[in-house]
Chains A and B, each alone.
Chain A
Amino acid sequence: MADEVQAVPKIIIRPTDGWVAINFHELWEYRELLYFLTWRDIKVRYKQTALGAAWAVIQPFFTMVVFSLFFGRLAQVPSDGIPYPVFAYCALVPWSFFAGSLDRAGNSLVTSANLLTKVYFPRLVIPMSAVLAGLIDFVIAFIVLVAMMLAYGITPTWAVVTLPFFLLLALMTALGVGLWLSALNVQYRDVRYTIPFITQFWLFASPVAYSANLVPEQWRWLYGVNPMAGVIDGFRWALLGRQSAPGPLLIVSVVMVVLIFVGGLFYFRRMEKSFADVV
């Protein structure tokens, strides 16, 4: 009965101006709402679709098939000595998570307009739950990846222990970009239409169909400006081995992710107060 002992909370409401600090304590208080919204997103998705969980696999898997045929077989794109299908699919798993999260998070505030105008809670919960809901799909797609690795006889090296770090990096990239897009979407409805374009553009700018090693050695670190380059390179290194650890490229990517994420958080907080009036 800890609730009853709690002191009476005191709330002060006044106009805020400019940049606002992030209230981590409040965010923690609302962790159950984050859990329930994530749970709702997952539940609803699997209730409404006929193929349910299969969708988590269909998209990356068939992309992998097409990539293998055209890039791997016909165009003979080098794949660092790894069978091309595993090479491509290993990148498509984090990529699908990222692309899906971007789409859901970017539209999350607009689709939750009824919540924004009727109830108070830290608005950050909404894009966060949109990104977290993608983790289930990620896990399912990942199981297929493990099966493929077994089929191709690939055993990961000790580097596999670094995988959670790269997953975290993918999550932060998705959330960081998602925060920007969702807040911008409330203000500018054009964003909704740019999300598919951004995703497509970004896919070809990321080392999904090809290897990051295609970029000349002296410029490779610069490729890290695309944080997904760091994520995908990291996934391949952690799971498939056979290449040197990602160096400067990863460092640049991590710096970029932190910049996008922290910038996204503050931009979101700044715009948050106008959401209910504008959405």
Chain B
Amino acid sequence: MSDIAIRVENLGKRYRIGGKQEPYKTLRESLVDAVAAPVKALGSAIRRERNESRDNTIWALDDVSFVVKHGEVIGVIGRNGAGKSTLLKVLSRITEPTSGLVEINGRVGSLLEVGTGFHPELTGRENIYLNGAILGMKRVEINRRFDEIVDFSGVEKFLDTPVKRYSSGMQVRLAFSIAAHLEPEILLVDEVLAVGDSEFQKKCLGKMGDVAKSGRTVLFVSHNMVSVESLCSRGLLFKDGRVEADGTIQETIARYADYWRGQSRVELRHRMDREGSGQARALSIRILDEYGCETESIKMGDSFVVELQTKGTLDGAIIGVLVGTPHRPQMIRGYTWENLSNEVKLSGEDTVRCRFNCFPMMHGSYDIHVWIGQRLRNQQMLIDSVEYAASLTVEPWDLYGNGRMLDPLGGVAFCRIDWEIFSNATTER
């Protein structure tokens, strides 16, 4: 058996611009095109330059090359739209590359979504067979592992109930259980762990860990740096369709964090990498210390204020400020709906102040993400979201005023702790 599981050489994938989908053509357009083609061909020689500038395409993957050895577990990280998912789609043969070559040695199982092909009218039992077949399992294989799958999912009581009567959590559990029992030599996984309740997530991570340890080759795309770091040994960082970094997982995550730190220095109003409808936008962000002065760093345990300037009118607004690290983007989060009694209205140009009292995190660097949503008639919509909008440094501090600093490796958060120690000898008598 060859040592190499996946070899990717100068891989490229081009899409028409306007989302990742090519727009549907109508039959009429194509007929018109066909008739017009000879005329265009005549003119195109003359107007070649203009035609090329109108050719709106993007390279979702651009000259990507790397080699994966058997048994390697690789984390693929990068921003949204960096090409991670396109890479998995090409490797799992869902879409064809525009250029380049991929060589894969071994049976490939791909898991781009849990529960692909689940049919709500069919029972759990029936869906296990259907979904298994869709994922490429043979019937004998499913038969052999059927009990294990049911056991892992914990839905044995409802096996003969149509899946449409399941709660969404149960559906996800069943779907993941089927997927987790695939046994290909090479497994391609896309963010499927971000599902279900936290207990089940732990179970899934454990299962993924088993898979990783069993010597199989895994390519794992995720935004969750904690799970990437704990599962993978090597990392690939993608940026704009290219491989930006390829090294140990720690190195790669560090590079990714550096990149984001750079982003947070770009003024908020110039940031283009936003998500949401844009009805309202956060245009600037400042961090103010306890004296109301703009700052980039505070002492451990200090309070600070995140001040946003927003533009755009919005009824039923929800504003969130999230603080975390690249590993855990959401360590502390505050949303207006959690403790504001009246509805938030943005009237055009507003100032939003969010005060974090006695910030309880250990010293280190923290990232601040901004989120604006809207809730109307119980529907929640994303209006504006900017990751890494600002960064904050928490300076070490002599918390107990005795000249000793806290050990930063000892935890992620702190609080004032009092000790009481006495001997039990006197009470025992």
Check A120 against B92 for contact (C-beta < 8 Å).
yes
Q: Which A-chain residue is minimally distant from B28 (CB atoms)? A: A190
Check A13 against B101 for contact (C-beta < 8 Å).
yes
Check B97 against A13 for contact (C-beta < 8 Å).
yes
By a CB distance below 8 angstroms, the chain B residues around A9 are: 105-107
Check B121 against A48 for contact (C-beta < 8 Å).
yes
Among candidates A11, A35, A278, residue contacting B93 with C-beta atoms closer than 8 Å: A11
By a CB distance below 8 angstroms, the chain B residues around A114 are: 116-117
Among candidates A13, A32, A273, residue contacting B133 with C-beta atoms closer than 8 Å: A32
Q: Which A-chain residue is minimally distant from B106 (CB atoms)? A: A8
Check B96 against A273 for contact (C-beta < 8 Å).
yes
A217 interface residue, CB < 8 Å from B? no
A51 to B134, CA, bound (A): 29
Known A-B contacts A9-B107, A188-B30, A277-B15; A116 and B24 likewise in contact (beta carbons under 8 Å): no
- Interface residue count on the A side (C-beta < 8 Å): 38
Check B25 against A187 for contact (C-beta < 8 Å).
yes
A12 to B91, CA, bound (A): 10
Known A-B contacts A11-B108, A119-B135; A188 and B130 likewise in contact (beta carbons under 8 Å): no
A48 to B121, CA, bound (A): 8
By a CB distance below 8 angstroms, the chain B residues around A115 are: 116-117, 134
A residues 4-38 touching B (CB-CB < 8 Å): 8-16, 32-33, 35-37
Check A118 against B94 for contact (C-beta < 8 Å).
yes
By a CB distance below 8 angstroms, the chain A residues around B27 are: 188, 190-191
Check B121 against A47 for contact (C-beta < 8 Å).
yes
Check A36 against B129 for contact (C-beta < 8 Å).
yes
Q: Which A-chain residue is minimally distant from B107 (CB atoms)? A: A9
A189 interface residue, CB < 8 Å from B? yes
A242 interface residue, CB < 8 Å from B? no
Known A-B contacts A40-B130, A44-B122; A189 and B94 likewise in contact (beta carbons under 8 Å): no
In the complex, per-residue mask of B7-37: 1 if CB is within 8 Å of any chain A CB, else 0: 0000000010000111011111010000000
A189 to B25, CA, bound (A): 8
Q: How distant is B216 from chain A, measured CB to nearest CB, in Å?
A: 13
Check A116 against B97 for contact (C-beta < 8 Å).
no
Check B185 against A188 for contact (C-beta < 8 Å).
no
Q: Which of B96, B110, B136, B139 has the most CB of A within 10 A?
A: B96
By a CB distance below 8 angstroms, the chain A residues around B89 are: 117, 276
A202 interface residue, CB < 8 Å from B? no
By a CB distance below 8 angstroms, the chain A residues around B99 are: 15
A120 to B108, CA, bound (A): 10
A8 to B104, CA, bound (A): 10
A3 to B15, CA, bound (A): 38
Among candidates B26, B107, B116, B122, residue contacting A189 with C-beta atoms closer than 8 Å: B26
A73 interface residue, CB < 8 Å from B? no
Among candidates B28, B93, B112, B122, residue contacting A43 with C-beta atoms closer than 8 Å: B122
By a CB distance below 8 angstroms, the chain B residues around A276 are: 89, 94-95
B residues 76-98 touching A (CB-CB < 8 Å): 89-98
Check B105 against A10 for contact (C-beta < 8 Å).
yes
Known A-B contacts A44-B119, A48-B121, A189-B24; A11 and B103 likewise in contact (beta carbons under 8 Å): yes
Known A-B contacts A188-B25, A276-B95; A40 and B101 likewise in contact (beta carbons under 8 Å): no
A121 interface residue, CB < 8 Å from B? yes
By a CB distance below 8 angstroms, the chain B residues around A15 are: 96-100
B172 interface residue, CB < 8 Å from A? no
B251 interface residue, CB < 8 Å from A? no
Check B26 against A10 for contact (C-beta < 8 Å).
no
Check A121 against B121 for contact (C-beta < 8 Å).
no
In the complex, per-residue mask of A59-81: 1 if CB is within 8 Å of any chain B CB, else 0: 00000000000000000000000
Q: How distant is A105 from chain B, measured CB to nearest CB, in Å?
A: 18
Check A190 against B133 for contact (C-beta < 8 Å).
no
By a CB distance below 8 angstroms, the chain A residues around B113 are: 118
Check B129 against A120 for contact (C-beta < 8 Å).
no
Known A-B contacts A36-B129, A44-B119; A120 and B93 likewise in contact (beta carbons under 8 Å): yes
Q: How distant is A73 from chain B, measured CB to nearest CB, in Å?
A: 41
By a CB distance below 8 angstroms, the chain A residues around B94 are: 116-120, 276
A47 to B139, CA, bound (A): 23
B126 interface residue, CB < 8 Å from A? yes
Check B1 against A8 for contact (C-beta < 8 Å).
yes
By a CB distance below 8 angstroms, the chain B residues around A12 are: 101-104
A3 to B141, CA, bound (A): 10
In the complex, per-residue mask of A78-90: 1 if CB is within 8 Å of any chain B CB, else 0: 0000000000000
Q: How distant is B182 from chain A, measured CB to nearest CB, in Å?
A: 12
By a CB distance below 8 angstroms, the chain B residues around A44 are: 119, 121-122
A104 to B162, CA, bound (A): 23
Q: Which B-chain residue is minimally distant from A12 (CB atoms)? A: B103
By a CB distance below 8 angstroms, the chain B residues around A36 are: 129-130, 133-134
B40 interface residue, CB < 8 Å from A? no
By a CB distance below 8 angstroms, the chain B residues around A32 are: 133, 138-139
Among candidates A10, A43, A274, residue contacting B126 with C-beta atoms closer than 8 Å: A43
A10 to B101, CA, bound (A): 13
Check B116 against A190 for contact (C-beta < 8 Å).
no
Known A-B contacts A32-B139, A188-B25, A190-B26; A13 and B129 likewise in contact (beta carbons under 8 Å): no
Known A-B contacts A8-B106, A10-B105, A188-B26; A121 and B134 likewise in contact (beta carbons under 8 Å): yes
By a CB distance below 8 angstroms, the chain A residues around B105 are: 8-11
Check A40 against B103 for contact (C-beta < 8 Å).
no
Q: How distant is A42 from chain B, measured CB to nearest CB, in Å?
A: 11
Q: Which A residues are within 8 Å of any B CB, using their own CB?
A: 3, 8-16, 32-33, 35-37, 40, 43-44, 47-48, 114-121, 187-191, 273-274, 276-278
**What are the 5 A-B residue pairs with the smallest beta carbon separation, nearest first?**
A13-B102, A36-B133, A273-B96, A120-B93, A11-B104
Q: List 19 A-B contacts (CB under 8 A).
A: A3-B138, A8-B1, A8-B2, A8-B185, A11-B104, A12-B101, A32-B139, A37-B130, A43-B121, A114-B117, A117-B94, A118-B113, A119-B117, A188-B24, A188-B25, A190-B27, A274-B22, A274-B96, A276-B89
